[in-house]
Every structure is written in structure tokens, then in C-alpha cells.
């Protein structure tokens, strides 16, 4: 009997930590997930969209068309109401190049100086897009959000990015004070992944 090969899905990120996270959260999907670091390196597309979803679609289509395989891409960031939605799609480069995560969150706290607790509402958002080269780059997508607020001083050493200043609604700890499992249970990325699982499973089942 000839065993069929599992369908390959590219995880369109160079970030090995993110590839691990996707593999863990997509364990129920019967596909072989491959990170970009396992493939010949190509120039990344510009992420110049005005929404997380636009950037996720750009990346998924670009890698899917280039490698001729199903590609899954995400884009995420922090949206702060009192800053008119900043840093938003610019979260990774807020304040310019050459800043550390801690520099960026300090800048954000400075820009929120004088804003009282009740007006420090914010959310992490994540958009995921999956592009299928067999259908001319047609894509499916899902989004996930976690609501919360920005505190006044960073707390906690776990996670990354803006985690030390973000407290999810109904929690007293920042996401940097939570374990990886606790953060997975409420994170924007976990919610977006959960939402894409049925469509992704359907696509793979049809192959
Ligand atoms: P990207 O989706 O990898 O481009 O991430 C964009 C940026 O958003 C990251 O560099 C972080 O600054 C921020 N970000 C996204 N998700 C999280 C999170 O779960 N915790 C903290 N910061 C995040």
C-alpha cells in the first residue's frame, strides 16, 4: 500500500518561536508545517498595508505563489485607543529602527503620560491568512483579539514585545507575568488560530 504524503503548509515567518507556537496550536490539523528558515531564503515582501489583515494576505499570497505551496501568514500588534490606534500595524517598528522591545514600550508609556487608568484601553489583534496556489492565490482568513489596558510601569519577564505593560480585561497580571500556557489560553494569536482551524482542515482534507 502506498502511504500518501502529508500536505505541506508553509508558516510564513522567519521567527522560529512563532513557528513552534503555530505547530503547537495547529497540532490537530493533519499537515506538515514548514517554517521559512527551512526553505531557500527570498526577499520578504513589504508590509505596508494599513490593516493587520492586508499585511497577512500580502505575505500569505507572496510566499504561496513563490513556493507553489499553501502558505499561512499572520500579522499582529497592539492597538491603543488613547493613541488613535497606534502603534497598530507599526508595532514592531514603533519609534524607528534600532530600538529594543523595552525602548518601544517605554516610548509608548511616555506617549501615554497623563492618560488616566480608565482611558488606557487597548487590545492585541492578530490576523491570519492562508493562500492556496492551486486556486490562483485565493485566501481564507481569521482574526483574534484580546482586550485589556496599558498599565503605568512594566511588570513581568515572560512573553515579548508589549507584554510587560498589557493587562487583559478581567486579569490583574500582565501577559508577561503569565506562563506560555496561560497566555495561549487567551491570546489574540491563539484565538485567530482557533478560528482558522476548520477552514484549514477543510482545505487539507480536500487535497
Ligand atoms: P508581528 O506580527 O510578528 O509582525 O508582530 C508585530 C509586533 O506586535 C511585535 O513585534 C510586538 O511588538 C507586537 N506584538 C504582537 N503580538 C504580541 C504579543 O503577543 N505580545 C506582545 N507584543 C506583541
Q: Residue 5 has which C-alpha cell?
A: 504524503
Coil, strand or helix: which one is 93? helix
CB 161 within 8 A of CB 100: no
Coil, strand or helix: which one is 107? helix
Q: Residue 175 has which C-alpha cell?
A: 501577559
* pLDDT (tens place) for every residue of the chain, 207 residues total: 556 788 999 999 888 878 888 998 898 899 999 999 999 999 999 989 999 999 999 999 999 999 999 999 999 999 999 999 999 999 999 999 999 999 999 999 999 999 999 999 999 999 999 999 887 667 899 999 999 999 999 999 998 999 999 999 999 999 999 998 899 899 999 999 999 999 999 888 877
Q: Is the CB–ligand 1 distance for residue 35 below 6 Å?
A: no
Q: Is the CB–ligand 1 distance for residue 92 below 6 Å?
A: yes
How much distance in Å is there from the Cα of 76 to the middle of ligand 1?
A: 6
H, E, C per residue of 165-183: HEEECCCCCCHHHCCHHHH
How much distance in Å is there from the Cα of 166 to the middle of ligand 1?
A: 12
Pick the closest to residue 73 from 42, 47, 38 (CA basis): 47
Whether 75 is a known active-site residue: answer yes
Q: Is the CB–ligand 1 distance for residue 162 below 6 Å?
A: yes
Amino acid at each position: 500500500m502506498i502511504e500518501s504524503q502529508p500536505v505541506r503548509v508553509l508558516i510564513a515567518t522567519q521567527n522560529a518561536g512563532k513557528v513552534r507556537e503555530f505547530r503547537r496550536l495547529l497540532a490537530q490539523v493533519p499537515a506538515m508545517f514548514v517554517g521559512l528558515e527551512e526553505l531557500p531564503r527570498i526577499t520578504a515582501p513589504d508590509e505596508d498595508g494599513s490593516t493587520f489583515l492586508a499585511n497577512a494576505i500580502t505575505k500569505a499570497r507572496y510566499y504561496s505563489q513563490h513556493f507553489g505551496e499553501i502558505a499561512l501568514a499572520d500579522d499582529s500588534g497592539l492597538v491603543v485607543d488613547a493613541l488613535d490606534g497606534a502603534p497598530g500595524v507599526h508595532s514592531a517598528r514603533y519609534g524607528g529602527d534600532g530600538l529594543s522591545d523595552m525602548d518601544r514600550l517605554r516610548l509608548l508609556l511616555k506617549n501615554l503620560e497623563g492618560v488616566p487608568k480608565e482611558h488606557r484601553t487597548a487590545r492585541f489583534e492578530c490576523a491570519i491568512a492562508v493562500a492556496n496556489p492551486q486556486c490562483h492565490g485565493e485566501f481564507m482568513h481569521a482574526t483574534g483579539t484580546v482586550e485589556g489596558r496599558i498599565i503605568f510601569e512594566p511588570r513581568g519577564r515572560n512573553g515579548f514585545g508589549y507584554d510587560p505593560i498589557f493587562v487583559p480585561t478581567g486579569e490583574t497580571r500582565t501577559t508577561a507575568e503569565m506562563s506560555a500556557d496561560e497566555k495561549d489560553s487567551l491570546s489574540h494569536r491563539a484565538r485567530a488560530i482557533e478560528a482558522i482551524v476548520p477552514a484549514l482542515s477543510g482545505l487539507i482534507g480536500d487535497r
